[in-house]
Structure 1
Amino acid sequence: MQYTLWNNDLLAWSIAAGIAIATCILLYAVRKVLVRRISAFAAHTATWLDDLAGRVLAATHPLFMLAIGIYAGSHWLALPAKTVALLPHLAVTALLLQMARWGDVAVHGWLHHYRIRRGEQDAASTTSTAALGFVTRVLLWTVIALMILDNFGVNITTLVASLGIGGIAVALAMQNILGDLFSSLSIVLDKPFVVGDFITVDDFSGTVEYVGLKTTRIRGLGGEQIVFSNSDLLQSRIRNYKRMQTRRIVFGIGVVYEISKQQLLAIPGILREAVEAQPQVKFDRAHFKSYGASSLDFEVVYIVQTPDFGVYMDVQQAINVALFERFEQEGIGFAYPTQTVRLADSELRIARAAAPENAPG
């Protein structure tokens, strides 16, 4: 006696089941071989992309293999027309879901690599990269969901338009938050500064302590914490002193008017000698700049070959001490603000007293 189930006998079902099982075993074996070979290759390379490829392939889900196996075995069966039309859509859906899983694992692997590589240098950036990963995953799964609906014949044009209008409304309502979020991502990707850098923003100076999704916090020179909105921060002029390679120093000095021409001409050379005697310093120029209200003004320019502020201050102190000693030896006095007041009435009295008609007998 021959038994039939859904218009197919036991032999047809057995063959279909055999094809499905063989397909699943083949897919499983292919995945295992590829993962093993990629892992063996990755063990001898320094790049992280092959490691990521191995993790992505290892994320192939058994349910996906089962779905493909069932789809392959169904071709041996005589099924109703509706079922025959539905099975390809189910297979494509399984493939799309598996692609979404591969993409999700790839995003997670990239974030993990980024955190390990940048964690020691910029620990706070992991917060923003986590937000970037979340946004990427949401977009990925949204696109996959729309593709699945389109695969089943759903008209997604109206849905996409509705999502677009809703997205615009949400963006308008949350424009400040979204602006700070994207500014945070810009800081992370463009890296105008990182945690630990000493920066100046407008009239505020301090060391960057934290870069968050909405705000960046720096520790001010007075010990206070200064909080900036990320969007406002990027709209400001930022000076990053941590990334200085050298320091160009300009300083002035004034001497008294009561010096000789020979002393005046010797001062630029004295200034040059004082600067060139310092280590890690490149002399640029020294000139008699101008006549001041109470001094003869000179300007000196030199370059410190290191950005270290402490080194600069040590150099400037040594130059000041050397100038103090040398000017004392040369008899050149440092100028300080002075004013000479001449009274017209007193001068008139002096002139009259010195006149011949007022001379004695």
Structure 2
Amino acid sequence: MTFSLLAAATTAAPKAAPARAAATNPIEDLQRYWDMSVAWVNTHWLQIGIAIGVGLFIYFLLSLLRRIALKHAQSAEGDMSLTHIAGRVIHKTKSLVLAIIAIRLVAGYAQPPAVIMQIVQLVFTVAVVLQGAIWVREIVLGLIQRRAAEGHNETLSNAMGIIRLLISVALFAIAGIVILDNMGVNVTGLVAGLGIGGIAIGLAAQGIFSDLFASLSIIFDRPFRVGETIKYDTSTATVERIGLKSTRLRSVNGELLVISNTNLLAKEITNFAHLHRRRVTFMIGVIYQTTPAMLRDLPALLEEQVKAAGQEFIRSSFVTFGPSSLDFELLFDVFSDDYDVVTAARTDVAIRLFETLAGAGYEFAYPTQTTFTAAPDGTMILPYAESVTMKTPKPAKG
């Protein structure tokens, strides 16, 4: 019985092998698809003809719209206007993509077999996703170049190569994942792998990418520009160059300061270029011998001189009793972006105040000390009391 089972298995094996081979024979599969396609054409030739005609009409209509939009965009003024960017996007629209869109729109009317419809859908998905990635890339790059042209930024212009590469890699990686997902491929592992790889690259080049994104933040946010004077930490300097990794500043003392962009944005920055009005403060001290009437008249006198100099008076008031002076505060504003104009106005007001106060009998206080000397019995003798009579000492007898 065992021999019979083995013989039966031996005789059955050769019969099963050809059946499996026939099921996976590509020539027979192609023949079957061909027969199916021929049958479809024979039974739906009218719908196919109508679909081809409508598809050609849609293709030529889309091509005409692209040509009109491109002509309108190229006739717009300005090299980096929004219309010019739209023209760049339209120019990157491929004719093959328009043809595939037209085929997809009319494919359903011809009622093709499921296999042909799946192929049309797959080609349509690939074409549209890749074309969308190209459109997005042109829009992003166009906006970046427009920003660089507005600020005449040499750094951003030089960095366009690496920016184009990073944007292209990111967009086409996303496009590839979308295409594979539509093809039925499980992209979970691929996305996880790309995420882990991106984290590894980011950690390895953390400092470089940090300074690069800080540079882009400076370029787009514009907290300062080249040629402007800023105060960074405890240094006051003029911006000479904004690089991809560092920014070069020329201090007021002449030293060249090279600061990484990340550290530069981590501190508080004061930009003097956008200071349209500057406030000037004077502390004026007069002597204690000034009469109360003169003290009451002093704020009005200070206000009069500030207005006579053409500046905006803010306030003037008594502040405190100083160690050797009666202190008044004067505040006024100078409306100018030029610091040289501000210093000239401050000098003019100071000289006016000195001349006016000196002419009105005011005396400016300066640090003084008075020493008092007393006799052994506590009587003050220096400074001399009025009751003390100075006597000339007699010469000693020889």
Q: Which letter maps to 2:92?
A: A
- Give me the whole-angstrom Cα distance separating, in 2, the residues matched to 1:6 and 1:212: 62
Residue 174 in structure 1 maps to residue 208 in structure 2: no
What is the aligned counterpart of 1:31 among 39, 60, 63? 63
The structure-2 alpha-carbon separation of the partners of 1:299 and 1:65, relative to structure 1 and needing over 3 Å to count, comes to closer
Q: Say whether 1:320 aligns with 2:350.
A: yes
Match of 2:127 among 88, 94, 107: 94
Whether the aligned pair in 2 keeps the contact of 1:287 and 1:300 (CA below 8 Å) is yes
Which residue of the other structure, out of 292, 298, 314, is the alignment partner of 2:322? 292
Q: Distance in 1 between matches of 2:375 and 2:261?
A: 67
Q: Which runs of 5+ in 2 are unaligned?
A: 1-30, 394-398
Distance between the aligned counterparts of 1:70 and 1:266, measured in 2?
A: 92
Tell me the residue number matched to 2:260: 229
Q: Which of the numbers 287, 291, 307 marks the counterpart of 1:260? A: 291
How far, CA to CA, are the matches of 2:337 and 2:133 in structure 1? 49
The answer to whether the 8 A contact 1:254-1:335 is kept is: yes
Q: For residues 350 and 83 of structure 1, do their structure 2 counterparts lie closer, same or farther at Cα, with a shift above 3 Å needed?
A: closer
Of 321-330 and 36-45, more deviation after overlay is shown by 36-45
Q: Which residue of 2 aligns with 1:204?
A: 235
Tell me, in whole angstroms, the C-alpha distance in 1 between the residues paired with 2:193 and 2:264.
Answer: 34
CA distance, structure 2, for counterparts of residue 328 and residue 147 of structure 1: 84
Q: How does 1:139-158 map to 2 (within 5 A)?
A: 139-158=170-189
For 2:62, give the aligned amino acid: V
Which residue identity is paired with 1:101?
I
1:210 and 1:218 in contact (8 A); partners too: yes
TM-score calculated relative to the size of structure 2: 0.72
CA distance in 1, matches of 2:193, 2:374: 90
% identical equivalent positions: 33
Matches of residues 237-256 of structure 1 in structure 2 within 5 Å? 237-256=268-287
User: Deviations 1:274-311 (Å, cap 9, x if unpaired)?
Assistant: 211112x1111112222222222211111112233222
Find the aligned partners of 2:225 and 2:248 in 1 and give their Cα distance: 11
Which piece of structure 1 moves more, 346-355 or 169-178?
A: 346-355
Larger radius of gyration: 2
* Conserved? CA contact 1:289–1:299, under 8 Å: yes
**Structure 2 SS opposite 1:242:** coil
Structure 1 SS opposite 2:244: coil
Q: Residue 271 of structure 1 aligns with which residue?
A: 302
Q: What letter matches 1:55 in structure 2?
A: R
- Counterpart amino acid of residue 150 in structure 2: R
Equivalent pair of 1:20/1:69 in contact (CA under 8 Å): no
Distance across 2 between alignment mates of 1:342 and 1:129:
79
2:140 aligned with 1:110, yes or no? no
TM-score, normalised via structure 1 length: 0.79
Moved more, 239-248 or 18-27: 18-27
- Is residue 24–residue 68 contact of structure 1 (8 Å, CA) maintained in 2? no
* Kept in 1: contact 2:63–2:98 (CA 8 A): no
Cα RMSD (Å) = 4.2
Q: Take 1:182 and 1:239, find their aligned partners in 2: how far apart are those partners?
A: 21
Read off the aligned partner of 1:318 and give its amino acid letter: D
Q: Is the 8 A contact 1:127 1:213 kept in 2?
A: no
